[in-house]
Structure 1
């Protein structure tokens, strides 16, 4: 009798845990664009990882600027990048550049690339963590700011720019 009660309790715990994991993994690009990323960049999910791409915000012309990618899990806990390799391809208009990123610190990948901080910048990130398969994520790091500013100008209402996320219940 005690064993079956234990088994039922264990199964219920597994079911609750699975439901929790499912809801944690349900983040899409729209969700990430509705929240502030921890380091001021743009966050995307790929596999079991969150990648936050942080670029220079104030580069009006294309020049060599820093690139940083923070790697965390779904609970936003840093994941070691030791032994990882990564590359970021940036496309801006007709210009395309690829930069290799190297591990730095606990959970960062860093490099330098030539880009301007404009809305037409797009990025494709490929990260291979030590002993794991490659994961990819796509970014439009400055497009959201342009969209928010355009909405505010169209509406003539600055509050629209401050309240851009959708409420999900």
Structure 2
């Protein structure tokens, strides 16, 4: 009789574990309201929120801001951290060095266009840690980002 109760408990534990592992993929993060209006992505032990300047589609000197939190949404200090954002848009490429700028924020400036085809790769290295990387499509609506069939 005890074995019969044990099996459903294991099944429930496995189902719960599977749900929590899947909870932080890009599709899930796109359903979440980003605190600063950017796009959220997971990078190792961190959530990165990329905020780009959307003011004009023309290439111009614009800021890039990355907010860093843990998986629970708690701020992670960027003191001593380094970062880089590579932005691809309008057939151009910009590399933006990111430096600490407040509690959990990295910031930099680069010349880029804010067009719908924009893609960004952000590399973040917390002090004393290994680098983590995340890919963004900051100007696509969440459903459009997951319907990009060019990758199939």
TM-score above 0.5: yes
Q: TM-score w.r.t. structure 1 length? A: 0.71
C-alpha distance in 2 between matches for 1:56 and 1:20: 38
Q: Find the aligned partners of 2:67 and 2:124 in 1 and give their Cα distance.
A: 11
Q: Secondary structure at the match of 1:143?
A: coil
More helix by share: 1
**Counterpart-to-counterpart distance in 2, 1:104 and 1:21:** 36
Rounded to whole Å, the distance in 1 between the matches of 2:75 and 2:57 is 31
CA distance in 2, matches of 1:22, 1:120: 32
Where structure 1 has 5 or more consecutive residues not aligned to the other structure, the ranges are 1-15, 149-169
Aligned length: 131
Whether the 8 Å contact between 1:119 and 1:146 is mirrored in structure 2 is no
1:88 aligns with 2:85: yes
Instruction: Kindly state the Cα deviation for residue 27 of structure 1 after the two structures are TM-superposed.
Output: 1.0
TM-score, L = length of structure 2: 0.78
Larger radius of gyration: 1
Say if 1:146 and 1:95 are closer, same or farther in 2 by CA, change over 3 A. farther
Are positions 1:113 and 2:117 aligned together? no
Output the CA distance in 2 between the equivalents of 1:79 and 1:62: 31
Which sections of structure 2, spanning at least 5 residues, go unmatched?
A: 1-12, 146-152
> What is the CA RMSD across the aligned residues, in angstroms?
2.3
Q: How does 1:1-169 map to 2 (within 5 A)?
A: 23=20, 26-144=23-141, 147=144
